[in-house]
Structure 1
Amino acid sequence: MTTTTISPARHRSLGDHTWQDQAVCQSTEYNPVDPEIFFPEPDETTKITAAKSLCGQCPVRRTCLDAALEGGDTHGIRGGMTEEEREPLHEKLASRLDYSRVNATIAGRDVHLTKAERRAVVRAAYRHGLTEQRLAWLLKISEEHAQKLYRETRRALRNRDLEQTTKATSPPETDGERLGRDDFGTAA
């Protein structure tokens, strides 16, 4: 049996660039790295392979990829992916829903969120009983907007509960026939 250990995600905070200090691509006196290998032409396969090899060793590869996607960076190799490999991710970014990012936000971290993640933060904050003031602070919105989001969440949850209740209590389909005792078997 193989076990996999997944380290907790380190999400980039708003305006945080400190993660770049840990990147393998940062050139130092003891580790000279040519930045040009991260901007190869499409036919320069040796540069692409070399850049991806460095990215494969990088402890902040996911953070680098997130920064490229969230910043709309479409040039060069970032997070171990070429421009062409990142293109579908750019298109899907708005619908990304990463619960580790939602949890980090609820815990008070300033994390870049997609629309789907912002909605999940509102639902989680509501379920955990966070105040409108706290939600406003977490999402960097006004308290009035936080109140509106909580009203919408209450309404959506109430409507969902009502739909589930009516589905659970609706009588079985009988095509207009009345069911008798014999229709239910011997247990009735």
Structure 2
Amino acid sequence: MHSTELQTPRTLGDHNWHDHAACRSTTHHKVDPELFFPEPDEMDRIRAAKALCTQCPVRSTCLDAALENGDRDGIRGGMTEEERDPLHRKFQHRLNYARVNAVLAGRDIHLTEAERQAVVRAAYQSGTPAERLAWLLKVTEEHAEKLYRRTRREIRNRAVDQTKNAKTKALKEPKAQNPRRDDLGKAA
């Protein structure tokens, strides 16, 4: 795995990572693409494909691309269709702050819904103009303003809820009573 792979998410439409894939066929290294589309019972083909994936420097990028594009067929990122299925189901909940920060820095990368919400919140809290947020998320300025209104409401409601919870907790806790004079006992 390239060290930059973990630090820098790929941009939308960037397929340069294909050039570094272990499954890429070259004149000196022939790879049959059908190897990556075995039937579920073809265990030898599955093992052979996964063995290539194990050596691949862009394996996690391949897996991300499969999840981002909804590719459910074949072996991708070293995983079979069945192994990737739970990841596909949970994918929209992924929250990777490296991706959030990359978008805030102006990079055009794929975001899950959770990551988009984190971008909006971070941009709102840092005072980023709605025009810039619109550009970052590829939405209209009107929609960016709507996202900011919703975020402002969520933050306000969370603060109100926290205040209510603190008051409720304080009411439930027994109050410490000051000892009365007769509770102090008598001096000897």
Q: Give the TM interval when normalised to the shorter protein.
A: 0.7 to 0.9
The residue that corresponds to 2:135 in the other structure is: 137
Deviation at 1:173, TM superposition (A): 2.3
Q: Normalising to structure 2: TM-score of the pair? A: 0.85
Structure 2 unaligned spans of 5+: none
5+ long unaligned stretches in structure 1: none
Q: CA deviation at 1:180?
A: 4.1
Bigger CA radius of gyration: 2
Cross-structure match for 1:118:
116
Counterpart-to-counterpart distance in 2, 1:173 and 1:11:
48
Change (3 A) 1:124 1:53: same
Residue 155 of structure 1 corresponds to 153
What whole-Å deviation, never above 9, does each CA across 1:17-67 have from its counterpart, x for those lacking one?
111111111011122212121111112111111111111111111111111
Higher mean alpha-carbon deviation, 154-163 vs 139-148, is at: 154-163
Of residues 44, 66, 69, the one that matches 1:68 is 66
SS in 2 for 1:20: helix
Alignment of 1:44-83 (within 5 A): 44-83=42-81
Cα separation, 2, equivalents of 1:174 and 1:54: 61
Aligned length: 178
Structure 1 residues 85 and 112: CA distance shift in structure 2, 3 A: same
Deviation at 1:98, TM superposition (A): 1.6
CA distance in structure 1 between the aligned counterparts of 2:83 and 2:114, rounded to whole angstroms: 23
In structure 2, what is the Cα distance between the partners aligned to 1:164 and 1:179?
23
Q: TM-score, normalised by structure 1?
A: 0.85
Match of 1:39 among 26, 37, 40: 37
Deviation at 1:168, TM superposition (A): 3.0
One-letter identity of the residue aligned with 1:133: E
RMSD: 2.3
In the aligned structure 2, how far is the partner of 1:7 from the partner of 1:109? 15
1:172 CA drift (Å): 2.8
CA shift, 1:169, in A, is: 4.2
How many angstroms does 1:10 deviate by?
3.5
Counting aligned pairs with the same residue, the percent is: 60
Indicate how the Cα distance of structure 1 residues 9 and 61 shifts in structure 2: closer, same or farther if over 3 A, else same: farther
The letter for the 1-side match of 2:179 is D
Which residue in 2 is equivalent to 1:182?
A: 179
Instruction: Indicate whether 1:167 and 2:157 are aligned.
Output: no
> Could you tell me whether the CA contact under 8 Å between 1:52 and 1:80 is conserved in 2?
yes
What's the offset of the Cα at 1:125? Answer: 1.1
